A and B are shown apart, each in its own frame.
Chain A
Amino acid sequence: MSAMQIVFILIAAATLGAAAMVVIARNMVHSALWLVATLFGVAVFYAILNAGFLAVAQVVIYIGAIAILMIFAIMLTRKVTGDMGPGLNPNWMWAALISAVMFGGIAWMLSSWQGFSSPLAALGSRDDSLQQLGMALVSPDYYVIPFEVASVLLLAALIGAIMVAWERK
């Protein structure tokens, strides 16, 4: 087992453990902090996969913006007496069963795919994937339309969020 595999297993175990804590922690603030740990583990995976820009974007957008927004929402919606009741609903056994079956199904389906254990492809000579990504996002031959639609979606979500959360006097 190579060093890379050991590193992978350690990071994967930490990330999945943190993800499990996100869904079972009773205190919502703890849950949000475990979410930050999970997102950071995923950012490490992006870095290992040579997607440096996505790793940085993961830290800035997910941890810096989304997780903080979650913590704000938790603080704004807490009861004065603190969190009460169990964190999970009474049907959590069924949810666990569905998740386990889903995982088994995905693993079985993937293992029957012939590309399942593809080796690492060599990066091309043009291995500056950040420049390639930037060009692809604004080039009319590639993804400029999804990019612009995403910006319109973000604007609409921004205005919609303000409208929905506006406190009418």
Chain B
Amino acid sequence: MVPLSWYLIFSAALFCIGLFGVLARRNAVAILMGVELMLNAVNVNLVAFWRYRTPDQIAGQAFAVIVFAVAAAEVAVGLALIISIYRRRNTVVADEIDLLKF
């Protein structure tokens, strides 16, 4: 049987890989992918806690569903912003997007 700790360590590792992606990638789309990895790590944690600690209450799964919705909203707006910036500046490299107004 798999103890809860394995899920928590897995999810911590996934979160830190996502954090590395957010901090180190140059492409803005790749930064969004890192954010997706971090949100997935949080979801694994929520579901694991639900299953191991409080399987008679549904809070963990309900929270995970809300996180899904927030992730979908975030990625839609984020990609729209990136596409809009690409049209104006012709770049998606985060280092080169450093003007508030162009």
Contact = CB atoms under 8 A, between A and B. Distances in A.
A96 interface: yes
Interface residues of A, number: 93
Interface in A59-82: 61-62, 65-66, 69-70, 72-74, 76-77, 79
Nearest to A110: B8
Interface in B6-61: 6-10, 12-21, 23-27, 29-30, 32-34, 36-37, 40, 43-44, 47-48, 50-56, 58-59, 61
Most buried by B among A32, A118, A160, A167: A118
Nearest to B20: A99
Given A38-B37, A98-B19, A66 B72 contact: yes
A120 interface: yes
A133 B61 CA distance: 7
Contact of A96 (B7, B20, B87): B20
B31 to A, nearest CB: 10
Nearest to B48: A49
Contact of B84 (A72, A89, A165): A165
Contacts of A10: none
Decide if the interface of chain B is mainly helix, strand, loop or mixed: helix
A77 B20 contact: no
B51 A110 contact: no
A61 B58 contact: no
Interface string A1-24: 010110010001001100110110
Contacts of A154: 69, 72-73
Contacts of A153: 69-70, 73
Contacts of B80: 160-162, 164-165
A101 B75 CA distance: 27
A158 B3 CA distance: 40
A68 to B, nearest CB: 11
CB-based closest 9 A-B pairs: A95-B23, A157-B73, A23-B21, A95-B24, A161-B80, A92-B24, A165-B80, A150-B69, A99-B20
16 contacts: A23-B17, A46-B47, A62-B68, A69-B79, A73-B79, A73-B82, A89-B95, A92-B23, A117-B3, A119-B1, A120-B4, A121-B54, A123-B55, A142-B58, A143-B62, A164-B84
